[in-house]
């Protein structure tokens, strides 16, 4: 009997997580976009919120390292919103190139994946995926600030997904996705600004330049294309779902 109840509860939870939610009101989607844009544009707010972009950035490095067979040693996140991901394997080749490439494009691509889920109405699923990924990232963190930052972010997503009503969940999910899409753009231009000033000689772009013998500026251009392309495509998936009252087919 207890086993049947447990299976029934798990099945019900799975249906709740994977079910599509009602279409989010247009005003809420656009308000979330406005708040996200203001957060990215306003420097004092950006200094704090940028931690979320750093989590996505280092998570991208870590995921690419694992997918290409490298041995992931650990992740560190710092209070100045910088971070480092250490992995072991060949210091050259496809795995190393993909690992170095993944950082700056990760926030935008995560945002694009989130927009795909929201465009289909899967608000709860998005929140649970975020909680799951952050929980996995906790296992690889190697400093206290990193643990605190990821734990706080994951706890917030969990509380919203578990206790908040549908409208609050939708507002949080849209704000998070818009922030990743918009926030993925600014660090790329900050990177190039730092490189011009000679303050980032060992940036991801410069490492890619050494690995591939292609100009580092070309890799910055790739970062820009991915960030802007993800922002435009993700916005296309998010906004029509609010304007037309239907989920977006893509």
Question: For each of the chain's 250 residues, which pLDDT tens digit applies?
Answer: 544 444 456 666 566 666 777 788 889 999 999 999 999 999 999 999 999 999 999 999 999 999 999 999 999 999 999 999 999 999 999 999 999 999 999 999 999 999 999 999 999 999 999 999 999 999 999 999 999 999 999 999 999 999 999 999 999 999 999 999 999 999 999 999 999 988 888 999 999 999 999 999 999 999 999 999 999 999 999 986 544 444 443 3
CB contact at 8 A, 17 and 124? yes
pTM of the model: 0.90
CB contact at 8 A, 188 and 234? no
Q: What is the pLDDT of residue 3?
A: 43
Query: Could you tell me the two tokens for 119?
Result: 């465009």
Residues 6+ apart with CB under 8 A from 194: 200, 203
CB contact at 8 A, 229 and 122? no
**Distance (Å, rounded) from C-alpha 149 to C-alpha 131?**
13
**Coil/strand/helix, residue 79:** coil
> Which neighbouring-strand residues pair with 75?
85, 141
């Amino acid at each position: 009997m207890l086993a049947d109840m447990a299976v029934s509860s798990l099945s019900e939870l799975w249906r709740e997580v994977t079910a599509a939610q009602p279409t989010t009101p247009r005003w809420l989607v656009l308000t979330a976009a406005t708040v996200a844009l203001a957060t990215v544009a306003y420097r004092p707010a950006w200094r704090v919120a940028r931690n979320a972009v750093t989590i996505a950035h280092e998570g991208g490095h870590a995921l690419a390292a694992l997918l290409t067979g490298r041995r992931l040693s650990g992740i560190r996140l710092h209070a100045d919103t910088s971070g480092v991901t250490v992995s072991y394997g060949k210091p050259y080749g496809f795995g190393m190139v993909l690992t170095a490439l993944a950082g700056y494009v990760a926030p935008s691509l995560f945002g694009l994946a989130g927009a795909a889920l929201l465009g289909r109405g899967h608000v709860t699923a998005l929140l649970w995926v975020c909680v799951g990924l952050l929980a996995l990232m906790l296992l690889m963190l190697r400093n206290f600030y990193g643990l605190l930052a990821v734990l706080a972010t994951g706890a917030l997503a969990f509380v919203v997904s578990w206790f908040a009503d549908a409208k609050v969940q939708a507002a949080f999910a849209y704000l998070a996705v818009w922030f990743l899409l918009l926030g993925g753009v600014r660090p790329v231009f900050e990177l190039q600004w730092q490189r011009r000033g000679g303050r980032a000689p060992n940036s991801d772009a410069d490492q890619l330049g050494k690995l591939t013998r292609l100009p580092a500026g070309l890799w910055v251009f790739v970062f820009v294309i991915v960030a802007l392309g993800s922002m435009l495509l993700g916005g296309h998936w998010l906004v029509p779902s609010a304007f037309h009252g239907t989920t977006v087919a893509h």
